[in-house]
Amino acid sequence: MKTFCVYCKVVVEKDEGTKPITVGAYKAVCCGEECFTNAANYVDFSRRRKILYGLGLAVSAILLFVSIFFFGMTETLGVAFFTIGWMLLGVATFMFPFVMPQTIEMMGIRKGMRLSRLVGIITILATPVWLLFLL
């Protein structure tokens, strides 16, 4: 049965030196020792950092929400809260590049992590663009 390596997305034949791994609720295989180690590190990392990531997103959402109210009062505080909230969103996405199960299915963990990091960087870089609109 043909399947793919959950980490590098290379197509592998089952029982050909593949190693099974569970990613979240998702049963997958790796093409070899190296991908297995990387995938296992990712699983471990995402399990340990999930709460921190959620916290980052929550704080970011609160800051963005609060900034709306501050904009009505003092623009400086509004901009400050918005900028911090938005950059935190980018930093959290970059630091904790978790990959959705659908994305793993589509491109594997390695490319998915790169994509998440890219989205994080774009988010951070987009901050001045937002400020142009707001100021």
Which region, judged by CB under 5 A, interacts with Zn ion, from 4-12, 39-47, 68-76, 97-105?
4-12
Please, which residue, 28 or 89, has the CB nearer to Zn ion?
Answer: 28
Among residue numbers 16 through 75, which ones bind Zn ion (CB under 5 A)? 31, 35
Q: Does the footprint of Zn ion cover residue 7 (CB under 5 A)?
A: yes
Cα within 13 Å of Cα(115), Cβ side = 12
Q: Please check whether residue 101 is in contact with residue 26, taking contact to mean a CB–CB distance below 8 angstroms.
A: yes
Cα 106-107-111 angle, rounded to 5 deg: 150
Tell the burial category of 53 from Cβ atoms under 10 Å away from its Cβ (0-12, 13-18, 19+).
middle
Please, which residue, 5 or 92, has the CB nearer to Zn ion?
Answer: 5
**Shortest CB 48 distance to Zn ion, Å:** 23
Cα within 13 Å of Cα(33), Cβ side = 0
Chain centroid to Cα 102, Å, comes to 13
Among 8, 39, 63, 104, binds Zn ion (CB under 5 A): 8
**Shortest CB 44 distance to Zn ion, Å:** 17
**Shortest CB 83 distance to Zn ion, Å:** 40
Interface size with Zn ion, residues (CB under 5 A): 5
**Shortest CB 8 distance to Zn ion, Å:** 3
CA-CA distance, 83 to 120, in Å (whole number)? 14
Site of interaction with Zn ion (CB under 5 A): 5, 7-8, 31, 35
